[in-house]
Chain A
Amino acid sequence: GQQLNQSPQSMFIQEGEDVSMNCTSSSIFNTWLWYKQDPGEGPVLLIALYKAGELTSNGRLTAQFGITRKDSFLNISASIPSDVGIYFCAGPLDYNTDKLIFGTGTRLQVFP
């Protein structure tokens, strides 16, 4: 089945550093979603983007809807240990439903 490509696959960073990750698709999306999954738990929605070029923040997190509508970016500023987890992008498979496809995930490790 179709999947979104995320990069990098994993990141190991020092506490306080900024983080950037991205997600690309071969097809155009009208919505981009970013989720975070803590170890052993279900993903939780962080940010939703609905318009090309849109830039949205949620605390230290900032996400952007790419102009081409085929990509999206997530930045985390001044990382802290609780940022550890897997970050997924997602987008609707079908314009008429809420059925989503998910990226392959970026695994983030933060060292004190």
Chain B
Amino acid sequence: DGGITQSPKYLFRKEGQNVTLSCEQNLNHDAMYWYRQDPGQGLRLIYYSQIVNDFQKGDIAEGYSVSREKKESFPLTVTSAQKNPTAFYLCASSIDERRTYGYTFGSGTRLTVV
């Protein structure tokens, strides 16, 4: 079955460490996205990519980095520069034509700083 897989489900990070969240899709979607979710604030866009080897900053890109070396994969690195990284992170993908079909989301990664 086609879908989008995020791993790990839960991640613990020490202060000052970088961590990488995995996102893989087998839907043959061109566009991929990373969102951060905090209670009461909805989903905020971190980075997005519409094509391999190209990505754009979203509203809250500071302290994060991404790569898009393959169509199927869009990993997110949370760097030590991100001051408050504890949150629920969601990856999504879409066909990205000039009509909105909506996203397919992964099941999320909950990151906690300890």
Q: Given that A3-B42, A45-B103, A48-B102 are contacting pairs, would A99 and B108 also be in contact in the complex, using a CB cutoff of 8 Å? A: no
Least Cβ distance of B64 to chain A in Å?
15
Least Cβ distance of A101 to chain B in Å?
8
Do the beta carbons of A48 and B42 come within 8 Å of each other? no
Please, which residue of chain B has its CB at the minimum distance from the CB of A33?
Answer: B102
Please, which residue of chain A has its CB at the minimum distance from the CB of B42?
Answer: A104
User: In the complex, what distance in Å separates the CA atom of A69 from the CA atom of B58?
Assistant: 25
Contact with A along B2-41 (1 / 0, CB 8 A): 0000100000000000000000000000010101000011
User: In the complex, what distance in Å separates the CA atom of A73 from the CA atom of B58?
Assistant: 27
Do the beta carbons of B106 and A42 come within 8 Å of each other? yes
Write out the residue numbers on chain A whose beta carbons fall within 8 Å of the beta carbon of B50. 97
How many B residues face the partner with a CB closer than 8 A? 33
**Which parts of A13-57 form the interface with B (CB within 8 Å)?**
31, 33, 35, 40-45, 48, 50
Using a Cβ cutoff of 8 Å, how many contacts connect chains A and B?
Answer: 73
Do the beta carbons of B41 and A104 come within 8 Å of each other? yes
Q: Given that A42-B90, A42-B108 are contacting pairs, would A96 and B98 also be in contact in the complex, using a CB cutoff of 8 Å? A: yes
How many A residues face the partner with a CB closer than 8 A? 30
Write out the residue numbers on chain B whose beta carbons fall within 8 Å of the beta carbon of A90. 102
Do the beta carbons of B92 and A42 come within 8 Å of each other? yes
User: In the complex, what distance in Å separates the CA atom of A68 from the CA atom of B41?
Assistant: 25
Least Cβ distance of B2 to chain A in Å?
15
User: In the complex, what distance in Å separates the CA atom of A103 from the CA atom of B100?
Assistant: 16
Do the beta carbons of B40 and A98 come within 8 Å of each other? no
Can you show 27 pairs from A to B with CB atoms below 8 A apart?
Answer: A1-B59, A4-B42, A40-B110, A41-B107, A42-B6, A42-B92, A42-B106, A43-B90, A43-B103, A44-B105, A45-B104, A48-B100, A88-B43, A97-B50, A97-B96, A97-B98, A98-B94, A98-B95, A98-B100, A98-B101, A99-B33, A99-B45, A99-B48, A100-B103, A102-B42, A103-B42, A104-B42
Beyond A88-B42, A102-B35, list 13 extra A-B contacts (CB 8 Å).
A1-B44, A1-B60, A4-B42, A9-B40, A41-B108, A42-B107, A48-B102, A95-B98, A97-B31, A98-B95, A98-B100, A102-B43, A104-B40
